[in-house]
Chains A and B, each alone.
Chain A
């Protein structure tokens, strides 16, 4: 007896009778290797970085995220503490153990208690680092990995994301391009286990079509854009 896989392929090939197999194979291989966006909307092609950051901010706010802007990493803990205090939230957070975030010198901000690692069920605030921000729709691109665990994006009620301004790009394709294998430049990659595109805080309209924030994931999403993340 043939396997399910064989049966499915036999049925498919029945439908493809008369197809030029050699040409089909060549076409598919070329398409798989191709690295070219199909059609990128004009709004996803901002002319300069400044316009990209402004567009990102406007779209993220439209999606019910809040955005703060600071100069360097040193300013980040203060911005985070301000946000938590203003929203009456606990001054305790799980923090992504990314080396870039170490430059923020969290230990100097005594009122804010951070624990490096993944988020646990009891964590009310999670702080992570974005891989990219996409101006097109105000979307954050978050990668799984030892420095940026995925649970930080979903378990806590409050999600705070640090986004260096030079990581803001126009389109989704641009955000993911460095992570994809590319036969032209000879690079070979495999994607991280998870790439999360995040646009605003969690929401649901499943009760009578009325939108409510905070369905299962974070109730609020706060983005801190750092203009000069490499600076002092």
Chain B
């Protein structure tokens, strides 16, 4: 079983690589998400300009976050909403529980919310006698399987349809055990029927928020299924869980972010449902909740303002960095052991939970840079992972052997002649040893991490620098 702690990344990753079911499931992702995003981006000539604008909007917000939160609060209250503030998970959970208790809630339907995962609202409600029901199809599947999500927007991406069928047979006991559940449509229809009843009986609906609009005090959710809308329309009470950095100044700014969100996430031109909610049911309205609560959750974000990690708060949780990450694509989301997997998690998790609790995550990257390339908000994720590695070194959290190696490297990097001498020596020595293995090495000193799983290609005897300085017959004519 995967350990849900970022401290077990290495063991989890090794286990994930050997998990045939998981590897099969992850195979679906590599094609779908990446190709669709590329197509959607190519189809909109203004896509990159929109990304620049989106970045600028969030940078402006983060530099004035206190003022925009005040404006959001004022306008939300004016629209008939109630605003609650939570410094941490425990406070946020208590706020939700109190609202549920005031109306005697027994069941709560839930739209997808990452901050809901972060504050672990579900086990808390259950422990207090309230039944939370996830309504996003992927979230519902993993709730039945008693697992956390493994992707920001495709929470059940690690599960195959046979495993879903097993979960449904186990939990939908009122249905015939003989029923065929072999195709995807049958699974979808069964979930639709089961959840329809839950939507209708729920006392409280909890959703997340993709954005908060300060101008109007509105919250915005973006979904494809419509589950979030049924969750917030049918029960008497609607509670929105939102972290404080979700606020944007006005609707024009929200529109800009919406234009990059779906294209980056699923490659859609627009998600099916984008819903702007402002306050409670109005006089004369035939449907809608009687109460509208917004819980604004800090949980470690405010302390990132003014630091080198402030930019990570631009994130709009599209998941593009996960979809394009070779590490995520190989080990899946659970290996990270944190609510936020993939590149964004490698930066955000140490920020929210402390570096000492997530040391391996910033190191689980080759710095290939694809995450930054596709991030709609242009978050410099590799640079920020490097900041964490620097802190790890400065705080003496790295093993002495690695520390010494890094110091030696740093010394050589500052003395070119020493560096060249070392590189020549190593290239010559590896070349000599490689001759026996036909250009491949089965073992390299200090390289067991590599050679345990594959051979190391031996160099050809000369360093890049010496070849560069030598005669270049194939040199192209200069323009």
Contacts and interface: CB of A to CB of B under 8 A. Distances in A.
Question: Do these two chains interact?
Answer: yes
Interface of A: 3-5, 7-9, 11-17, 19, 24-25, 27-28, 31-32, 34-39, 41-43, 59, 62-63, 117-118, 121, 136-139, 144-146, 149-151, 153-155, 171-173, 176, 180, 190-210, 212, 214-218
Given A145-B285, A209-B157, A39 B272 contact: no
A216 to B, nearest CB: 4
Nearest to B33: A209
A8 B58 CA distance: 19
Given A199-B271, A206-B138, A34 B252 contact: yes
A104 B233 CA distance: 28
A63 B258 CA distance: 16
A150 B287 contact: yes
B49 A28 contact: no
Interface string B190-204: 001001100110000
B50 A42 contact: no
B111 to A, nearest CB: 10
Given A8-B302, A180-B251, A198-B272, A217 B67 contact: no
B255 A37 contact: yes
Say what secondary structure dominates the interface of chain A.
loop
Q: Which of B66, B200, B282 has the most CB of A within 10 A?
A: B66
A160 to B, nearest CB: 16
20 contacts: A4-B91, A4-B298, A9-B69, A28-B67, A28-B71, A28-B249, A39-B53, A63-B269, A151-B233, A155-B230, A191-B218, A194-B275, A194-B277, A196-B273, A199-B271, A206-B154, A207-B161, A210-B28, A216-B192, A217-B230
A216 B225 contact: yes
B270 interface: yes
Interface in B140-193: 141, 154-157, 160-161, 164, 184-185, 187-188, 192
Contacts of B379: none
Given A8-B85, A150-B233, A202 B277 contact: no
Given A118-B286, A206-B136, A209-B32, A193 B279 contact: yes
A195 B230 contact: no
Interface stretch (B116-124, B303-311, B341-349): B303-311
A13 B259 CA distance: 31
B251 A176 contact: yes
B214 A32 contact: yes
A218 B226 contact: yes
B305 A32 contact: no
A15 B64 CA distance: 10
A139 to B, nearest CB: 6
Given A191-B276, A204-B224, A215-B226, A197 B270 contact: yes
Given A15-B305, A16-B66, A180-B251, 12 more contacts: A8-B296, A27-B64, A28-B64, A32-B249, A176-B251, A191-B276, A192-B278, A193-B280, A205-B32, A208-B28, A212-B188, A216-B192
A114 B53 CA distance: 47
A7 B91 CA distance: 13
Contacts of B157: 209
Q: Which of B49, B215, B296 has the most CB of A within 10 A?
A: B215
A94 B440 CA distance: 73
